[in-house]
Structure 1
Amino acid sequence: MSSRWCTPRGPPSPKSLLFTLVTILSVFFIHQTEGYTTLSDKSITHLVSSSSYSSSSEDTKTSNHDPDFDPHTGALLSPILIPRVPGTPGSEKVQRHFIDFFSSELPNWTLEWQNSTSKTPATGDTDVTFSNLIFRRDPPWLSRGTSTTNQKYDADGEEDKEGKKFVKRLTLAAHYDSLYRPEGFIGAIDSAAPCAILMAVARNVDRALSQRWEGIMKKREEDVDGLEDDADGDDEEEEGGVQIMFLDGEEAWVSWTDMDSLYGSRALVAEWEGRKFTGDAVGKRSAGPKTELDAISLFVLLDLLGAPDPKINSFFKNTHWAYQHLAAAEAKLRKLDLLESTPQQPFLPEGKKAPQRFTGGYVLDDHVPFLQRGVPVLHVIPLPFPDVWHTMDDDGDHLDVPTVGDWAKIVSLFVAEWMDVEGFVPGKEEGAKNGGWREKEEL
């Protein structure tokens, strides 16, 4: 584990102090302007009870646990529990699993591919392909030529059309690749289960987002005749989106170094850092994002989840408020008896962490390239690492299924409250509304 821990050394440089100040101020601004509305008990119950069991086998419905997370038959999890080394057929199968899920169950989400190649210490002169999949749900009034998903760029990375509006997005991420060695390594906590959790989160919040945004659009249509000079409306001006990243190439091929790790996230950040936009930003109180990275309101990274009794630390002082919201989500769900696990302590026990206890240390993971560019980060990873980490025991049979299901509920509630969907969470009897699902590129 020592190779994955970063501790600041020596006095901070003026540049690092400036970076810290800018980051803290930017996150303070985000905290003050993002809509974060707590859900009622009724809405919470509907939200975490909305998982569709229809795609799972009848035999699993007798279980006390969410059948989608059954390691052998679960519709979300079991297809990911195979070796997923970048550039291999196993990796491609899991990519297709993500695509099939969103296209069939969540057709309003768009997909962007971000591909790169790199040599590795294990493959010599052979280039390995790394593929990141980014699924987005933006407000529908941005769906036709105004969301960054559909933007075009010139040779220098400049966006080639004027007048676009951009949307801030809550960003959830997990890596889907598995270790190159030992051969046959599965990586259930690392990170098949986090990927399945994010799929469940997307499904749990999707209908509420649809109903919220349909309400905003309906209000706009009703008001447009009398308010032609402000047709967009304040609600639209401040509305954000959500995106889910499945990142490739997190694992080292030989041993963890700056260059033998984080292949996918490093390539993604390098590309997005060069995407410079020229249009106005959504949000009257902001100068607006200048790059794709600036559009990330918060980067939430899930890793090593699925073992019992996890302890998640709050690593970053400037996003401790977000950690507190996540901890509050867990507490509310436990109070309502909606979680199945029985841990010795809360998953997120540091809600009251004192400011002086933040030392600046953190675990090296896919958030690092984003963190280095000033993106606010919430890292959801247990310390100490689970005992099965990087062993052949990290497989489906060693997962704690109640814990996996509980993480899906906790993160779903966090996202739903961030996206301000109180009053729009449908009951299970209400069917989802389908729309057009678009894939930016073909496999």
Structure 2
Amino acid sequence: MLLAYRNVSVIVSLCLGLLMLTSVQAYEKLSDETLSALPRPNSDFNIHNGALLSPILQTRVPGTPGSTAVLNHFADFFRTTLPKWKIEVQNSTSKTPMSKKEVPFKNFIATRDPPWAQIGDVERLTLVAHYDSKIEPKGFIGGIDSAAPCAMIMHAVRSIDAALDKKWTALQQQGLNDFLDGEHGIQVIFLDGEEAFKEWTATDSLYGARALATHWDDQFYPAMSEFKTPLSSISLFVLLDLLGATNPTILSYYETTHWAYQSLGELEKRFKSLKQFKTSSSSPWFVDTEKDVHNLTPSGGIQDDHIPFLAKGVEILHLIDFAPFKGFPSVWHTIDDDGEHLDMDTVEDWSMVVTAFAAEWLELEGYFDQPKAATARRDEEYAASEAIRLNKKTEL
């Protein structure tokens, strides 16, 4: 990503144009019991041998063996751990200022939709991070940028998959899936080529994001589908970048997704009140939760993978550690941005927040395995509330 103030008016105009397109959504919050019982990554985030994070902590410049190794890590993870997900790789090539030959860029996409859903009829929560690393300085790893965000997303989708399966199975068994007011799935995108090869420009940056946004904008679903293109089926594009440093500051940039930002802020507060965070700072991460939507931070200064999607009308929630008058984390784009300089308590806490946010978005309360004592206390109350909720969804 790049902090820049060129073309601010163009981007702001695009953002304002989106305000008329989306209405605020609502979803069921997770209970305190569910929040407290969500799976934790534990040793999977160990920077030396953790199953999720350590394979990403290597140089992974597009078109190099390191990039291929990380791409294979993603594919192996979904094939072995989440076999019901559909995975694909979107390929493109482009010349860069550092090469006269075409450089390959490979975007990794994993999707899980309701088993009864037809193509083009599913809107998806989309969790996004880039997996490439900078070519300079030599040996750059990119722990916060963005190995750790990739691992956070992997942990989140693994943590909710069984609950998602349980929910969809229950709806089918009860014959309720035919009466739902919409189909909701989830999608993961690990983008290639976010970093500039030489100097950040409109053409030397965001290689993978630009290619995928264009490809999906030109790819049409069947004529009678609910959604026209894969882009229009994205209900929310949640981009994670520069996450993993201590005491992050996350601003809210877009009026139409401020409610989702506030939901994340509420989850942070609840995790802290339940003493489920490993970090101990009382300073909030989501500093704009109390702001009115008309007083948010202007978004035009931060160039990142969301820009090509924003330009095509996709709803964006940009989760990036950036503080006014301070800037990005101190290790940003330096050789110190490696595994050793990650704050692992912060990384784990981020993974829990992302997990909970995805679980609430997909309305998975009641579908997680709970400790027996908590389950016994809540069985009757949950059965009644679930019947009311599903009944409302079946009403015309």
Is 1:323 paired with 2:261? yes
In structure 2, how many angstroms separate the alpha carbons of the residues matched to 1:399 and 1:129? 29
Q: Which residue of 2 aligns with 1:371?
A: 310
Residues 79, 289 of structure 1: alpha-carbon distance in 2 compared, 3 angstrom cutoff: same
Residues 1:134 and 2:109 aligned together:
yes
Displacement of 1:46 in angstroms is 2.2
Answer yes or no: is 1:396 the counterpart of 2:339.
Answer: yes
Q: Residue 5 of structure 1 aligns to which amino acid in structure 2?
A: A
The count of corresponding residues between Structure 1 and Structure 2 is 367
Question: Which residue in 1 is equivalent to 2:124?
Answer: 169
Q: Of the candidates 356, 366, 381, which is equivalent to residue 413 of structure 1?
A: 356
Whole-Å Cα distance in 1 between the matches of residues 61 and 91 of structure 2?
A: 15
Give the residue type in structure 1 aligned to 2:28: T
| Residue among 6, 21, 24 paired with 1:26 | 21
Whether the 8 Å contact between 1:8 and 1:361 is mirrored in structure 2 is: no
Mapped pair 1:259 → 2:250: no
Q: Residues 139-185 of structure 1: CA distance to partner in whole angstroms, max 9, x if unpaired?
A: 0113xxx33xxxxxxxxxxxxxxxxx420000000000000112211
What do residues 87-114 of structure 1 show as CA deviations (whole Å, max 9, x unaligned)?
A: 1100000011111111111111110210
**Alignment partners' CA distance in 2, 1:428 and 1:130:** 45
Q: 1:190 aligns with which of 145, 152, 156?
A: 145
* Structure 2 CA distance for aligned equivalents of residues 197 and 371 of structure 1: 23
Name the aligned partner's letter for residue 27 of structure 1: T
- Distance verdict in 2 for CA 1:256–1:166, change over 3 Å: same
Match of 2:34 in 1: 43
Q: How far apart are the structure 1 equivalents of 2:371 and 2:155?
A: 15
Which ranges of structure 2 fall in alignment gaps of 5 or more residues? 373-396
SS at match of 2:22: helix
2:47·2:54 contact (CA, 8 Å) conserved in 1?
Answer: yes
Does residue 89 in structure 1 map to residue 65 in structure 2?
yes
Q: Indicate the SS of the match to 1:378.
A: strand
**How far apart in 2 are the matches of 1:355 and 1:210?**
35
Q: Is the 8 A contact 2:251 2:297 kept in 1?
A: no
Distance in 1 separating the partners of 2:310 and 2:68? 28
* Aligned partners of 1:169 and 1:298 also within 8 Å: yes
Q: Residue type of the partner of 1:39?
A: L
The 3 A distance-change label for structure 1 pair 42 and 185 is same
Aligned partners of 2:250 and 2:320 also within 8 Å: yes
Q: Determine the structure 2 residue equivalent to 1:4.
A: 3
Q: 1:270 aligns with which of 210, 214, 226?
A: 214
In the TM superposition, what is the alpha-carbon distance from 1:313 to its structure 2 partner?
A: 0.5
Shift of 1:278: 2.7
Unpaired runs of 5+ residues, structure 1, are: 52-65, 148-164, 224-231, 282-287, 430-443
Q: C-alpha root-mean-square deviation of aligned residues, in Å?
A: 2.0
Contact 1:319 1:376 in 2 (8 A): yes
CA drift at 1:24: 1.5
| Contact 1:8/1:360 (<8 A) preserved | no
SS at match of 2:116: helix
Q: TM-score if structure 2 supplies the norm length?
A: 0.88
Q: Amino acid of the residue matched to residue 33 of structure 2? A: K
Relative to structure 1, is the Cα distance of residues 6 and 372 closer, same or farther in structure 2, using a 3 angstrom cutoff? farther
Distance in structure 2 (CA, Å) of the matches to 1:194 and 1:43: 23
